[in-house]
Amino acid sequence: MATAHPPTSNPSSVYLDPDKCGDPAVTTTPPNLPQHQRHALDSALRVDQAGELAANYIYMGQMAVLGRDPVTGPLIQDMWDQEKKHLAVMNKLQDQHRIRPTVLWEVARVAGFGLGAVTALMGKEAAMACTEAVETVIGEHYDDQLKEMEGLPASHPSVPVLKSVIEEFRDDELGHLDIAVENHSQRAPAHALLSTVVGAGCKVAIELCKRI
């Protein structure tokens, strides 16, 4: 059984290290970005923050139902702890780059919890299938963002940090995807239907959060 423990020093730890809280790489945003790039960065980080928020609540919903299961419980708890860390870093990025958070904040919380709880009630495999579908969409989304971020000015210290943080989060989410598959997500009842519905829902949510 694979666990979700990352190496101890990774790019995002600079945001969680109290000694580094004055570092310009974590406190300043590139000045004088062209309007379209600023807008793209704003919507990208807004979606990422909403995604991490929803992921937190999905795992919370799944834990509410499956928390007592001896195998699945600790697994979900592990993945949830990583998502909590992701959300903390995203909140710091929000302040740093002066991002407007999504208006759908409360909706993301409720919908995430609902999705997690409902799929967990359908069974352990369904919960894993939900995780698989969500992490697939998120992993691809982070990948697309990394390609868009190629255009940001690499001379500003915050940009390489941002790119490495997004890379790290992408790898974490794909790690969760692997864990879900290893834990029999493919055996879930109506796996194809469930994955399609959850995946489509995630894509709609991403498009909405980009705009509002």
Partner 1 sequence: MSRPQLLQLAIPLVQTYGFTRAALSHSVFRLPKPHSEQLSDSAVTALFGEGNDARKTLIDAWLEDARQHMRASPSPTIKAILTQRLKQNEPVLQFLPEAFALLASPTNGLPPLDPLPALKHAGSVADEACHIVGEHNIGLAWYSRRATLGAVYAAAELHQLNSPSTVYDFLESLLDSSGKVESALQDAGTFAGYIGRSWAGIIKSRGPF
Does the footprint of partner 1 cover residue 101 (CB under 8 A)?
Answer: yes
Closer residue to partner 1 in complex, CB, 91/186: 91
Q: How far apart are CA 117 and CA 33, in angstroms?
A: 42
Per CB under 8 A, the list member of 17, 95, 144, 148 interacting with partner 1 is: 95
- Closest listed residue to residue 128, CA positions, set 188, 58, 57: 188
Task: Pick the binder of partner 1 from 17, 81, 106, 178 (CB under 8 A).
Answer: 106
Residues touching partner 1: how many (CB under 8 A)?
Answer: 9
Which amino acid is it at 76?
I
CB 109, min distance to partner 1, A: 8
Asked if residue 36 belongs to a known ligand binding site, the reply is no
Q: Is 182 annotated as a binding residue?
A: no
91 interacts with partner 1 by CB under 8 A: yes
Q: Which stretch binds partner 1 (CB under 8 A): 96-104, 120-128, 153-161, 165-173?
A: 96-104
Considering Cα of 150, then 152, then 157, then 161, what sign does the dihedral take?
Answer: negative
Residue 100 binding partner 1, by CB under 8 A? yes
> Is 39 one of the binding residues for partner 1 (CB under 8 A)?
no
83 is in an annotated binding site: yes
Q: How far, in Å, CA of 155 to CA of 33, rounded?
A: 12
Among 24, 71, 105, 207, binds partner 1 (CB under 8 A): 105
**Considering only residues 114-133, where is the footprint of partner 1 by CB under 8 A?**
none
User: What's the CA gap between 15 and 97, in Å, rounded?
Assistant: 13
Residue 27, CA atoms < 13 Å, CB-side half-sphere: 8
Q: Which residue stretch of 40-48, 59-67, 102-110, 155-163 sits at the interface with partner 1 (rule: CB under 8 A)?
A: 102-110
DSSP codes, 10-72: -TTHHHH-GGGTT-HHHH---TT--HHHHHHHHHHHHHHHHHHHHHHHHHHHHHHHHTT-TTH
What distance in Å separates the CA atoms of residue 203 and residue 64, rounded to the nearest whole number?
25
Binding-site residues from annotation: 52, 83, 86, 135, 173, 176
**Which residues in this chain contact partner 1 in the complex, by CB under 8 A?**
91, 94-95, 98, 100-101, 103, 105-106
